[in-house]
Each structure stands twice: as structure tokens, then as C-alpha cells.
Structure 1
């Protein structure tokens, strides 16, 4: 059976992630016997999303026990969540030196190097996790990936629902219609677009998904143009099914790997995607614009290579870790587990279940209507949300709230911290959202972006 990472690669080009509030996660613990967890207080802080306090607690453990693999790995993971790469590398290398075969440490290091575009350094760590597809894919990238030419792009949307649509050019060809979604990592496109662009796969795999056989192909794109910005030497994925695919509403999907190379503003209110080079000047301007618009800086954490998190609240829960599912599809403002809805006494309509699919697996969710969902100063009140069945045992935020898009039902989805809810497409419509991947802050302001 394919593992979770293989299943994560399944095609999302048809906007199939109906339950967008999925807690995409990875196992906290590695498989090496030397990497068993210790330090319950530190782990409890981490699970609660108190990452800086947890970091100090893991450091105290390491002072007393420098060979504690779990503490070193977790301390490196905390650095990685905030893109503090030197810090992350230092602790993760310590952990790997103590337990060279630990798959979780190798995966964190692979992620760390991938985010920095050091793909050749990431390759042996992907291979050590058993991910030969990623290893072959990234080994085929010659020179600097994601080379940026141009400074700014403002891309108007051709539509808003069921997902935002914009135009981009592949290898200098005519405009193609793309959507974007932060629950997808790579740049993906249809097999037809890949063929027109002359792409040659450097890696491939065959998977079974929702009763169909799908071939996934991985290659390197010469040029991807988004308005006034051109990206060169871009890792790209495309898929082909054994069934004839109906003509879709879009030709591809832009994932977080592209978006985190820029100071990105997703301007829902202004119906545009704004990309700017990540420089100190653009970051300062983004902060100043956000302050003038009344937006407070929110922490931004990046887990499992591409999944965005911050702090928010639901129905008076108090600020907790939430997922930011930006782009994609879904009429709901937020998604949470049934257990969370019950704990917070949120009105839930169990008489009207929504039976759908996420990641190729059947999912049942129910309409619910919290009094308020909040991200900083951005709020939605008595708005339509989902409460989904989960494998959790109760509490505000079982970490396996839903199976993420591309993950088989029942598989572990715990990457170590609880997620209260997932804020989705419907929540952001009155706002613009700026993602600063340098200082790792998110700004959500009402109205159009400046």
C-alpha cells in the first residue's frame, strides 16, 4: 500500500478537496529505538502550541541530557516551523548524529533544505525517509531553482467561486488558467498542459485513488510567468488518469512552494493575487500597510513543507493554533471536528450531513454555526462552518481532526500539536491576507490591499 506521502501527491487539479479544513500532519516520532520521547512537560507545551515555551523546555532537557534525540529533534522542529533555518539545522544535525537512521529527523532536514532551495542537500534526506520519488525529482534540478525575474505581479482573478482563478504562462505559451491553494505544495498542472510545454518526467509513480489508477509525473519546468514575474527552473508535477478526464475549469494549481518565495498578498476583497520580491523594503511596507489598515501581526508557522498555521479562536475558545487554508474551494468559513463543536457548544445540524470525499476517502461533515470565528481583528459571526467526524477522543482540538487531502482514512495525521480549526476560503472574502515568510507573520486586513 502507498504510504502517506505518496497519497499526499494525488491530483488536486479538479478542486476535489471539498472538506478544505483538513489537519494535514506527520508523525511526531521517528522509528529509531534511540529516539523515544522524554520530557513530558516540553511535549505538553508543544502539543498546546506554546512553541517558544516548549523550545526553552527542550533546551533544559538537552542541558541535562545532551544525547536526548527527541529533545534535539523537537527543538529543531520548532525552529523549522518559523523558518529559523540555522537554528533548525543545528539541532536537527545533532539529533541525526545521535540517531542517523531516524526517519523523522531526516524528513525535517529534508524539509529545511527544500525551503531554502538547497535541493541537492535535501536529496539524501528524502532518500533516507524512503521517499525515492522526491529524491529523484530534486536531484534532477540543475542549478538554482525558483529563479525570480521581475519585482511585482498583481494578478486579477477571473472568478472567485468555487475557487479563485488567474492566468499564467507555461514555458512562454499562451495564458492558462490556474488556481492556488496553500494545502498543496508544488506547482501542478494537467497532463495536457505538461505535454504542450514539452515536459519530460524525471520521476513517476502509479497510485490507486478513489477507485482510479493515476500516474503521477514529476519534472522541471523552464519558465512559469505570473504577470510581471517570471520563475525559472521550477519543480512541477502533473497527473494522468486511466479514465478520460472531463474538461476542467482550470489547467493547474499553484501551491505554497511557489507562494513562499514571495511576499504574498491574497487579496480576496480586491480579487487579486499580489506577489512581491522578499526584501527588507517590501516587508517594511507590508507591515506599515497592515498597521494603517488596523491589522495586527499574527504568527505564521509552516509545517510539513507547505501547511500554514497561525493563532485564532472559535466561539470563545481563546487563541489557539489554527490552520490557514488559503485559496482552494469551500463555502464554509472554518472547519473543525465534531468533538470541538460539542466542547464549545456550537450549534450543529446533524440532520443535514454532507457526504463527500477528501483525499479519495469518504468524509461526513455537518453544518455548524459558531457565534464567532476570529483571526486577529478579522472576524465572522454566526457564519456557516463544518464539523467533521474524526478519530479524536474529544477536547478542543484532536490533532487528527480530519484526514488531509491525499491521506488514507485512519492513517496517523498527528504532527505533534493540536489544531483548533481550519480557516477556509469563505472566511477570507472581506479581507486581504499578507504572508510574510521572512519574518513569519500574517496580516489580515479588511478591504482591498493597498
Structure 2
């Protein structure tokens, strides 16, 4: 439930771009050349089979593309070499979480220092994320300042839910948690938004989105220690990536609807065929940090253009179309309005940015020219271990529809309404 209106994205700067032609495995990974990096890590392991870093990174490459067999193989090698390594345990926890193997994920969350997730997952009995129904199309109640759809908690009256791919699990307001009789199996205290926040973790019996129902799923809620909700009263909860990657998910901004189809090889093939008929090329889809979505995009202005890994930020709020680092904006000659700095929050912490207006930003065949964006931060490696060229936000998607295929790990982005 903790979100920020702005998440400043580090950029793929000149140094990282130079790495792309090299053979160093880490440099290739940092530059977003994941397949080549994976092969380079394998070469390292042939000569040094006890190299923990290479094994962990090779497993991470597999995990980015939901190639779970590869991910488990190499992450298990890394864990056997260094059982207490927190990074490896975190990646293995994510690997099992995505496969709904929550009981297997729990001890790895514990070893990674994520005690709340460990307790929550250990408390879930039986099969998690049970899906009933095959397809649903939910009309949006609104698009701005953030999209809203209706859903039911434990068979109760319809509530208003926003969604955002910068959060993981389903979240509800503390008021809705009390109404639904939810009890916390774990809690955690953090500092964010200038206050002390208590996060609560529980298990939800039923979450119904139109013709689809999810049963036995993780849920979270939060409240300020000083009193009151963390999120505004404008909605009753937020749907995160953990819900969406269980489906072939279409965010039809142009058509103001959310379309969820049961995730199968058949629906993945159908999505690819539909895109091909419409002349839409698939973009790569990567999943890192448990819930953060990435693809490939570009930014261009008078001094040149750059192509690289970009975050795909769907839902949320904000008037900015994209975010790039101040450093990269300068490199590309993007006009930055230093007279109008603005303050916001990213990951619950204050950040400062400046309006900027790149000549063109692009995802696949979809472009936006001279649009209101923001610049802030430096070209630094993010927590995911690779450089990000930009973040494409809520306002970019408004004329488009976006389909995310978590089976073959493709993203399809097209102008206009979804068919």
C-alpha cells in the first residue's frame, strides 16, 4: 500500500553503453545484455565451478525471464557454496514465490532477512492463488488521478481498487481489513512519508474481480503510528504485480478496462497471434525485485539517442509521462526546467526532480514526442543490479493498451483500444 508518485530511475549512461560490446559478464549484465551475460557466467563456471557470484548471477538471469529450471539450478549451486548468502536466498525466495511454492519460499525469505514474508507465507495452508474463472473484463471507474476498478473481498460488497506494478502483493486499507475481519500473521515497522508506518501481513480467503476469483492469497495493509490511513481514502486497496503475473493481463488504457485471462500456453499463443495480425512486435519482458517490470525502450533528443532497459510502470498516478536521470537528460540535450523543481516520494522517501521535455521516447512502435517528463538522480546501478534508461509511467500509457504475457515473457504495446 506504500506508493510514491515519482520513482526516479537511474539511467543507462555512457559508461554502461560501452560495456555492451565487451565480454565481461558483470558489465554485460549491468548494461541489460542478459542473455549474453548468462552465457558469460556459464563460461566462468566452467573454469571456476565454485564461483558463487557467477552461479548466483546466472540464476538471476534465468529468473528475470521466468526460466525457473535455470534459475533454480544455478541458484541452488550458489546456495550450496554459500548457504548464508542473503542475495541468493532472496532470489530463491522470489523464484519459489512466482511458482506459488510459498512453503518453499518461506525459509529463504527468513534467511534473506525478510521475517514478515517468511511468517506470512508459512501461515498459508493449502494451495495459494487458486483461480476460479477464465476471463474477465473490468471497466474502469476512472483513469485519473489513477485507474480504479471494483472488486470484492471475502464475498463482501464491491470496493474500489487501484493498481500499480511498483507494489507486490494485494493491499487493502486498514479500514477494509477490519471490515473483512483480517488478522495479521506478521507485522513490521518502517519509517516513510515522514511518519512511522506499521505494515501488517495476512491471508485473504477470496478476492473477486468480475468473473475471476482468487482464493487463499497473501494480503497486506498499513497504518500510521500517529493514526490514520497511509493511502488516501480515494480507494480501498491496491492490486500489485503478484496478482497480475498469474494472468495474461491487458491494461487497456485507451478502452478504460482491465482484461484478465487465465495464464496458459494457449492464451500466450493467442496474444502473440493477435499482436502479429495487428503488426505489433513483442517486446522483452523482465521481472526483477519480485515485482518490478522491465522492457526495452529508448530516449532521444538533439544530442543523440539511447536504447536500453526501462521500467514499465503501469497504474499509479502522476502527470509525468516518463522519468530519466538528470545526467542522461544532459547527455542527450533534453531541455530541463530548473526553475520549477518539485518534491515527491519514491519508496516512501522524499525525492526532488525537475520537469523536462525529451524530443522522443519510445516503447516498440509507440512514441511520445516533447512530452512532460521529469529528470532527477544520477546514472547509478539500481537495486536490481542493472542500469535503467528510463521509467515509462501512467501518463505514457493513456492512448495505448498493454498486454503482459508472463508465460513467454513478452510485452505487447499498441495504440488504441484492445480488441
| Superposition TM-score tier, normalisation by shorter sequence | over 0.9
Deviation at 1:330, TM superposition (A): 1.2
Distance 2:265 2:349 in 1: 44
1:113 lines up with 2:100 in the alignment: no
| Alpha carbons 1:20, 1:325 under 8 Å: kept | no
**Aligned counterparts of 1:228 and 1:22: Cα–Cα separation in 2:** 36
Match of 1:17 in 2: 4
- 1:344 positional shift: 1.0
Pick the aligned partner of 1:356 from 344, 347, 368. 344
Q: Give the deviation of 1:18 after TM superposition.
A: 1.4
**Which residue pairs with 1:243 in the alignment?**
227
| Cα root mean square deviation, aligned | 1.6
Mapped to 1, the partners of 2:27 and 2:383 lie a distance apart of: 14
Task: State the Cα deviation string for residues 38-58 of structure 1 (Å, max 9, x = none).
Answer: x98110111110011111111
Name the structure 2 match of 1:122: 105
Q: Residue 15 of structure 2 aligns with which residue?
A: none
Q: Distance in 1 between matches of 2:133 and 2:386?
A: 38
Q: Give the secondary structure class of the aligned counterpart of 1:117.
A: coil
1:271 counterpart (249, 252, 256):
256
Matched, 1:141 2:141: no
2:307 alignment partner in structure 1: 319
Partner of 2:330: 342
8 Å CA contact 1:166, 1:178 repeated in 2: yes
* TM, length-normalised to structure 2: 0.94
Give, in whole Å, the separation in 1 of the partners of 2:91 and 2:295.
Answer: 20
Using structure 1 for the length normalisation, give the TM-score: 0.87
The answer as to whether partners of 1:332 and 1:384 remain within 8 angstroms in 2 is yes
Shift of 1:64: 0.6
- Residue 392 of structure 2 is matched in structure 1 by 423
In the alignment, structure 1 residue 85 sits paired with structure 2 residue 68: yes
* Structure 1 residues 292 and 21: alpha-carbon distance in aligned structure 2, compared to 1, 3 A threshold: farther
2:249 paired with 1:280? no
What's the counterpart of residue 208 of structure 2? 225
Corresponding residue SS for 1:439: coil
Is residue 320 of structure 2 the alignment partner of residue 332 of structure 1? Answer: yes
| Offset from partner CA, 1:286-320 (integer Å, 9 cap, x none) | 11221222211000000010000010000153421
Q: Which residue of 1 aligns with 2:404?
A: 435
Deviation at 1:22, TM superposition (A): 4.3
Give the distance between the partners of 1:349 and 1:218, measured in 2 at CA.
Answer: 42
Change (3 A) 1:376 1:352: same
When residues 441 and 21 of structure 1 are mapped into structure 2, their CA distance, relative to the original with a 3 A threshold, is farther
Query: Per the alignment, in what secondary structure is the counterpart of residue 54 of structure 1?
Result: helix
Partners in 2 of 1:232 and 1:424 — Cα distance? 30
Range with greater deviation from structure 2 (413-422 or 241-250): 241-250
Which residue does 1:252 correspond to in 2?
237
Aligned to 2:16: none
Residue correspondence of structure 1 range 350-389 to structure 2 within 5 A: 350-388=338-376
Q: Provide closer, same or farther for how the CA distance between residues 202 and 22 of structure 1 changes in structure 2, counting only shifts above 3 A.
A: farther
What do the CA deviations read for 1:242-292 (whole angstroms, capped 9, x no partner)? Answer: 223496110000000000000000000000110000112211211122122
CA distance in structure 2 between the partners assigned to 1:166 and 1:381 by the alignment: 30
Alpha-carbon separation, structure 2, partners of 1:280 and 1:350: 49
Residue of structure 2 equivalent to 1:402: none
> How many residues of Structure 1 are paired with residues of Structure 2 in the alignment?
404
- Asked if the contact 2:10–2:324 (Cα under 8 Å) also holds between the matched residues in 1, the reply is no
Distance 1:381 1:278 in 2: 34
Where 1:168 maps in the other structure, the secondary structure is: strand
User: Which of structure 1's runs of 4+ aligned residues deviate more than 6 A?
Assistant: none
Q: Which residue number in structure 1 is paired with residue 415 of structure 2? A: 446
The 2-side partners of 1:271 and 1:232 are apart by 26
8 A Cα contact 1:183 1:307, kept in partner: yes
The 1:351/1:438 distance shift into structure 2, 3 A limit, reads same
User: Partner of 1:130: helix, strand, or coil?
Assistant: coil
Aligned counterparts of 1:118 and 1:320: Cα–Cα separation in 2: 32
CA change 1:448–1:165 in 2 (3 A) is same
Partner residue in 2 for 1:35:
none
Separation in structure 1 between the aligned mates of residue 386 and residue 86 of structure 2, nearest angstrom: 19
Structure 2 counterparts to residues 403-422 of structure 1, below 5 A:
413-422=382-391
In structure 2, what is the equivalent of residue 36 of structure 1? none
